[in-house]
Amino acid sequence: MTPSSAPRLSTREPARKTHPIARAKRLSHVTFERPDLDRTAVFLKDFGLEVVRRTNTELLLRGAHDHDSCYVVRRGPRPRFLGLGFEVGSLLEIQTLAALPGATRIASVGRLENGVATRLRDPSGFEVEALLATERKAPEPVEIAADGRTSRPNVLRLGQVVIEVADFQASSAWYTEHFGLIPSDVEVLPDGSPARAYFRLDQGATPTPSHALGIAQGFVPSLNRSAFVVRDADAIRARGVALTKRGWTHAWGMGRRIVGAHVCECWKDAYGDKHEHYCGGELVDATREPNVHPMAAESVAPWTKVPSSRISNARWSTRSWLRAWAWLRGNPKEYRHVFS
């Protein structure tokens, strides 16, 4: 590819912010609403998480390397993704975020031994919790087996959350301004507008995984997938065998993601939400500028003999994106989903 034909970003976002309100230190958790906690717990334990606490209204789970819960489930009337959380590093950052319009008052967090939090809403209506752990004990050591037969968790921690939004520019600006996220990889359409982008935490000179949050241009805000780190490809394979034997629905993989380079396999829970196991991937510091890529026909290069429809969601195909792009060019009115 010559320099003149190399893909270029034609929009303002995504871009890093010099002075964000806060700088996220860690992607802490995802939050879901489910009508049946028992059914939810069965899948998540088969997936490789461990139950931390269970009540009539809430289910908390963790991975082997988590200090606290990385997966929060609230009992509710319908199955849906509610949001995600980030841990920040100072009380001043929590206080500044809590002072923003629409944020909740600072309150203690029951699932943390010693911690406080405030909740905000992003432009798509997702709940985003900012946490501060004022005192933290080291997680209990966990013996991790790769054979899929252990009751202890094979999942190490939550690694990525990918969301689809109706207004990419507003969402990108919000997360980079509020939590200091840095764009790592941007996939663009032929006119240079972003189709999806992946962001990392700002850890300064410390190498950090290049993908922590993914934002994709869509029509309705929704969760694309939540992704969890495991030890290696053997652990992915073994857990996949166990999930197959227990009758869960396979979504894609095993394969290697074309952008990000990590090895992954994805499964659907009882309500159709995608949960991914992955290992590997790039580690970069805060100085690296974002890579711009043309929108790929497939997001995963498969290692297994699985029909392509099982590997790449049709929403992500180049042909689908080009049709949507052409339609939007002819219909410039802004479309945004509003949560009731």
Residue 302: the pLDDT is 66
Strands lying side by side in the sheet with 249-257: 291-294, 182-188, 194-200, 213-217, 157-165, 222-229, 274-280, 262-268, 249-257, 300-302
**Surface-to-core class of residue 6, CB atoms within 10 Å of its CB (0-12 exposed, 13-18 middle, 19+ buried):** exposed
Residue 142: the pLDDT is 52
Residue 116's closest CA among 130, 126, 137? Answer: 130
Are 154 and 63 a contacting pair, CB within 8 Å?
Answer: no
Whole-angstrom distance, CA of residue 294 vs CA of residue 285? 23
In Å, what is the CA distance from 333 to each residue of 125, 191, 224, 322, 327? Answer: 20, 18, 25, 18, 11
Residue 154's closest CA among 266, 30, 238? Answer: 238
Are 200 and 18 a contacting pair, CB within 8 Å?
Answer: no
Residue 4: the pLDDT is 56
What pLDDT tens digit does each residue of the chain (340 aa) get? 555 567 899 999 999 999 999 999 999 999 999 999 999 999 999 999 999 999 999 999 999 998 889 999 999 999 999 999 999 999 999 999 999 999 999 998 877 767 899 999 999 999 999 999 876 555 555 554 544 444 455 899 999 999 999 999 999 999 999 999 999 999 999 999 999 999 999 999 999 999 999 999 999 999 999 999 999 999 999 999 999 999 999 998 898 888 888 899 999 999 999 999 999 989 999 999 999 999 876 676 766 544 333 333 333 344 444 544 554 455 444 333 322 2
- What are 160's strand-pairing partners? 227
Residue 107: the pLDDT is 92
What one-letter code names the amino acid at 190? Answer: P
Residue 111: the pLDDT is 73
Whole-angstrom distance, CA of residue 73 vs CA of residue 178? 25
Whole-angstrom distance, CA of residue 292 vs CA of residue 187? 6
**Surface-to-core class of residue 164, CB atoms within 10 Å of its CB (0-12 exposed, 13-18 middle, 19+ buried):** buried
Assigned token pair, 281: 């991937």
Tell the residue number behind the tokens 């396979």, with chain if given.
Answer: 250
Residue 100: the pLDDT is 97
**Surface-to-core class of residue 78, CB atoms within 10 Å of its CB (0-12 exposed, 13-18 middle, 19+ buried):** exposed
